[in-house]
Amino acid sequence: MTPSSAASGVENVLRILEGRWKLVILFHLFGGKVLRFSDLERAIPAISQKMLIQQLRQMEADGIVRRIVHHQVPPKVEYCLTDWGQALCPALDALLKWAAQKEPAEGPLGS
């Protein structure tokens, strides 16, 4: 892989994962969890309903999330990760471990 193709690959990954809430949604769905829309709303209280819908639709279009519609009254919609989406878990776990290695910032005067 050349530096140019690697940079292009990183841009593609960032395009798929960009958005303030996508990674938070992913973490709630890891481990094979199947959650209703309302479960996700409760789990992420700071996200607006409109933004949650938008982020889920984008992840569904990108093949990370699967939307399951149960045709009943009232309608029941659930979300889970695709196999490809679930495969992100080790990579994101590695990122968390990497971030945890950062030493605390020094004080403003270097003390």
CA dihedral 52, 45, 67, 88 (to 10 degrees): 90
Q: In order of start, what are the domains of the chain with their CATH numbers?
A: 18-96 (1.10.10.10)
- pLDDT per position in the chain (111 positions), as tens? 788 887 888 888 888 888 899 999 999 999 999 999 999 999 999 999 999 999 999 999 999 999 999 999 988 999 999 999 999 999 988 988 998 998 776 656 555
pLDDT of residue 75: 87
Name the pTM for this structure. Answer: 0.81
Please answer whether residues 85 and 63 qualify as being in contact, where contact means their C-beta atoms are separated by less than 8 angstroms. Answer: yes
Give one word for 19, left, alpha or beta, with left for phi > 0 and alpha for psi -120 to 50: left
